[in-house]
Amino acid sequence: MTLSSEPRRLRWWTSLLAAAVGGLLLDTAGPGLGWWPLALPAAALIFLAVWQQRARWGLLAGAVAGLAFWGPHISWLTLYLGLVPWAGLTAVMTAWFALFGLFVGAGTRGIARAAVFRSRPALLLVAQAATGAGLWVLRESVQSSWPYGGFAWGRLAHTQATGWLAESVSWLGFSGLSGAIAFAAALCVAAGVALWSARVGADRSAIQRPARAAVAGAVVLLVALGLVPAAPLPQDGTLKVAAIQGNSKSAIFDDRESGAVFRDHARQTESLLDELEAAGESVDLIVWPENSAEFDLPGNTLRDFEVAGLARRAGAPIVAGSILQDPDGTYTNSVVVWDARGATGERYDKRFPVPFAEYMPNRDFFHMLAPDLVDLVQLEYTAGTRPAVLNLDTPAGAVAAGLAICFDIIFDQQAEAIVDGGAQVILAPTNNADFGRTDESAQQLQIARLRAIETGRALVNISTVGTSAMVSPTGQTLDGLTPFTADAMVAEIPLVSGATPALRFGAVIAGAWMLLGALGAASGILLGYEPRRARKS
């Protein structure tokens, strides 16, 4: 049985419609609607839109899918900063989607044209699906690395943080889970398009068995991912943690006095200690959010004295966020540790400062384009080089705490550094005030929740305004706070050691997906190439 040498594809207008609907559905799979089951049909529609398309239509359909997804997904950028930053980031992310559409179209089209695959329909379906899934992972990996360090946001795996497939991320990692979901969607698309492309009669009958097997394989894969439990790791005791949400005016354009953010968190800590003492209870660690201690906490004698007093009263160390200036004049977005005697010397500096927010790349160039926006970025934070794990002396004993300040949590390298450093728990202080009541903080918590499962560590995500929650190693919420309220959350969290399969083999799995995608696209283009005069219109 041989399929037609001219692969079928959607008409241009149907392709663009499928791309737009797929992109929009992919956004609805995450917060705020959180309809995570839509991730699969969303990916399938995006694949269908670019499947076996000619170069120009694959490029355009990919761009439409990217715009439909990224436009609404990061619309929170417009809240305070307007359309220019949103348009710039959306354009970059859309460009990666456009290239994805180009290469998926060319790769799947070439594979379908090659005689070796046309005569082996089962091999054809697997080869096309693996190529599509691999290119999906490759797109996510490239966008997470370049330009300016990348933006590891909006990945397919992120949609499953509260879904049935979440615990499988502890075995596969973020890229592995994205690849598995994309592969299931691509298998279904490959089967459907192959049936559509087959000649009538005996040929169509012959393709039905591998097509049905491909769909069944996709279902089996998803069911297996949904049934697998999180990878177990040994527990080394527990730690009772309190986290303080000051509900501070801590956004860029908030009208506030110097010290107001610090006072909000100090006051809420005092309130918590009042409640604990009245109940005859105590905690082992108190965590404040990013920037909660404002500028140069170690150098401010009065604030130093006050935080030490709170730590003395609590009988527990306090981890607080502060902007620090080093002797060479550079600035870092940092976390410092206080106990009853003052600063302990433990410090972590944010490793992934945000371009165009915490530092301005190519300042002179971008100043010519948008001087008012560029001038908003006053301090140039440098990337931290200190270890990502702090050693804390707590009433429960010595504890190794991994740190991820704000967007640090979205990068796979940070998770690897935390686990490699021996962290038993992850602290993720953040400041989401610049994004108001948009979906940004919920999206970030979604990523943090999946990160907790991937690493097998409990995670404390504490924000100045929310969304704040403590998450178990299996992704369950141990405690949480209502956004835009001054409050504290307290939970007994497990201390864990060891590395999950995701951390041991996740990079290998991701590399395998990317290699499959690149080889599939290259092979398809080479094997399916025909001189222009020989092609059918």
**H/E element holding 344?**
strand 342-349
The C-alpha atoms of residue 51 and residue 190 are separated, in whole angstroms, by 8
The separation between the first and the last C-alpha atoms of the chain, rounded to the nearest angstrom, is 24
Full pLDDT tens readout for the chain, 537 residues: 455 556 788 999 999 999 999 999 999 998 888 899 999 999 999 999 999 999 999 999 999 999 999 999 999 999 877 888 899 999 999 999 999 999 999 999 999 888 788 778 899 999 999 999 999 999 999 999 999 999 999 999 999 999 999 999 999 999 999 999 999 999 999 999 988 877 644 466 778 889 999 999 999 999 999 999 999 999 999 999 999 999 999 887 777 888 999 999 999 999 999 999 999 999 999 999 999 999 999 999 999 999 999 999 999 999 999 999 999 889 999 999 999 999 999 999 999 999 888 888 888 888 787 787 777 777 789 999 999 999 999 999 999 999 999 999 999 999 999 999 999 999 999 999 989 899 999 999 999 999 999 999 999 999 999 899 999 999 999 999 999 999 999 999 999 999 999 999 999 999 999 999 999 999 988 876 655 544 444
Quick check: 490 and 242 in contact, CB under 8 A? yes
DSSP-assigned letter for residue 295: B
CA angle 405, 411, 413 (to 5 degrees): 105
Token pair, residue 52, equals: 């076996």
At 40, phi and psi to the nearest 5?
Answer: -70, -55
pTM of the model: 0.94
Quick check: 310 and 266 in contact, CB under 8 A? yes
So where are the chain's domains? 12-231+504-531, 235-499
At 447 the pLDDT is 97
Quick check: 481 and 242 in contact, CB under 8 A? no
Task: For the beta carbon of residue 42, count every other beta carbon within 10 angstroms.
Answer: 27
Length, in residues, of the chain: 537
At 411 the pLDDT is 97
The C-alpha atoms of residue 374 and residue 209 are separated, in whole angstroms, by 59
Three-state DSSP class for 179? helix
Helix/strand/coil percent split, the chain, to 5: 55, 15, 30
At 2 the pLDDT is 52
The string of DSSP letters for 408-434 reads: GGG-HHHHHHHHHTT-SEEEEEE--GG
Does 162 sit behind a cis peptide bond, omega within 30 degrees of 0 on the bond before it? no
CA torsion 149→150→153→154, rounded to 10°? Answer: -170
State which fold the 235-499 domain adopts: Nitrilase/N-carbamoyl-D-aminoacid amidohydrolase (3.60.110)
Q: Which residues contact 85 (CB under 8 A, 6 or more apart)?
A: 77, 78, 356, 373
At 378 the pLDDT is 77
The C-alpha atoms of residue 493 and residue 269 are separated, in whole angstroms, by 19
Q: Which residues contact 112 (CB under 8 A, 6 or more apart)?
A: 3, 7, 52, 118, 124, 128, 197, 528
At 426, phi and psi to the nearest 5?
Answer: -115, 130
**H/E element holding 440?**
helix 440-455
430 DSSP β-pair partners? 463
Angle formed by the axes of helices 202-227 and 169-197, to 10°? Answer: 170
The C-alpha atoms of residue 179 and residue 516 are separated, in whole angstroms, by 11
Q: Of 79, 83, 25, which Cα lies nearest the Cα of 438?
A: 79
The C-alpha atoms of residue 217 and residue 187 are separated, in whole angstroms, by 8
The C-alpha atoms of residue 141 and residue 133 are separated, in whole angstroms, by 12
Per-position b or e across 406-429, b if 16+ CB within 10 A of its CB = bbbbbbbebbbbbbebebbbbbbb
The string of DSSP letters for 116-167 reads: HHHT-HHHHHHHHHHHHHHHHHHHHHHHTTTTTT----S-GGGGGTTSTTGG
The C-alpha atoms of residue 251 and residue 484 are separated, in whole angstroms, by 13
Does 147 sit behind a cis peptide bond, omega within 30 degrees of 0 on the bond before it? yes
At 537 the pLDDT is 41
Q: Which residues contact 228 (CB under 8 A, 6 or more apart)?
A: 167, 168, 171
At 206 the pLDDT is 74
At 168 the pLDDT is 98
Q: Are strands 285-287 and 235-245 parallel, antiparallel or unpaired?
A: parallel
At 280 the pLDDT is 96
